[in-house]
């Protein structure tokens, strides 16, 4: 909806009172939707999303207040210019914040990936070490058992040959 208003303003067309009312109603509807999302987010205890929604609600509320204030002015051209600037600034801010959020998430995912890699690597090293020690212990026990068995059989063979 904002794109259509922005396009009309860029073409140099003024917004009619009906279009301004539609814009204000749309902003109010968005405020109501964000308020509903805030309540659901509070129930989920998702404070990151709650912060984002509160910031979004503030931007929409500020935009609505500016449009309403400008609507009270007699100059339609002034209103058109103000609405255009607000929409442009909001789009720029949203774009910049979006890029910052994407960069922050990318950095967080990279850190998580590196941490997981380190944990997996240390687990594999630990498992390898444990298996190696177990194998060495088993070899020593097998060697010792074979040696004792060989000595015992040798002693038995010696006794049997001495008796005959």
pLDDT per residue over 105-118, tens digit each? Answer: 788 888 888 888 89
Helix (H) or strand (E) holding 16: none
* Residue 103: domain span: 2-119
pLDDT at res. 103: 78
pTM above 0.85, yes or no: no
Whether 143 shows a pLDDT value over 80: the answer reads yes
pLDDT cut 70: percent of the chain above it: 82
Dihedral sign of CA atoms 127, 133, 137, 142 in order: positive
Question: Does residue 6 belong to any structural domain of this protein?
Answer: yes
Dihedral sign of CA atoms 99, 105, 108, 114 in order: negative
Helix (H) or strand (E) holding 73: none
- CA–CA dist 87, 30 (Å, integer): 15
Measured at the alpha carbon of residue 29, what is the angle toward residues 7 and 6, in degrees to the nearest 5?
10
Question: Does residue 161 belong to any structural domain of this protein?
Answer: no
Question: Does residue 124 belong to any structural domain of this protein?
Answer: no
**Matching residue, tokens 């396009």:** 7
Question: Does residue 9 belong to any structural domain of this protein?
Answer: yes
pLDDT at res. 142: 92
- CA–CA dist 156, 67 (Å, integer): 107
Question: Does residue 163 belong to any structural domain of this protein?
Answer: no
pLDDT at res. 80: 67
Written as six digits, the tokens of 38 are 């805030």
pLDDT cut 90: percent of the chain above it: 18
Question: What rounded mean pLDDT belongs to the chain?
Answer: 80
Give 61: exposed, middle or buried? Use CB within 10 Å, 0-12, 13-18, 19+.
middle
pLDDT tens-digit readout, 20-36 = 788 888 888 988 998 88
Question: Does residue 138 belong to any structural domain of this protein?
Answer: no
**Matching residue, tokens 């935009």:** 63
Question: Does residue 158 belong to any structural domain of this protein?
Answer: no
> Total domain count for the chain?
1
Question: Does residue 141 belong to any structural domain of this protein?
Answer: no
């Amino acid at each position: 909806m904002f794109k259509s208003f922005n396009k009309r303003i860029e073409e140099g067309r003024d917004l009619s009172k009906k279009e301004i009312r539609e814009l204000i109603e749309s902003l109010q509807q968005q405020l109501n939707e964000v308020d509903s999302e805030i309540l659901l987010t509070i129930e989920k205890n998702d404070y990151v999303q709650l912060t984002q929604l509160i910031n979004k609600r503030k931007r929409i509320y500020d935009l609505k207040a500016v449009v309403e204030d400008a609507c009270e002015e007699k100059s339609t051209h002034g209103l058109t210019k103000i609405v255009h600037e607000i929409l442009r600034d909001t789009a720029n801010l949203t774009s910049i914040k979006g890029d910052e959020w994407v960069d922050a998430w990318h950095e967080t995912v990279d850190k998580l990936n590196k941490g997981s890699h380190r944990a997996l690597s240390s687990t594999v090293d630990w498992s390898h070490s444990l298996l190696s020690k177990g194998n060495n212990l088993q070899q020593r026990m097998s060697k010792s058992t074979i040696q004792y068995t060989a000595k015992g059989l040798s002693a038995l063979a010696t006794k049997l040959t001495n008796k005959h």
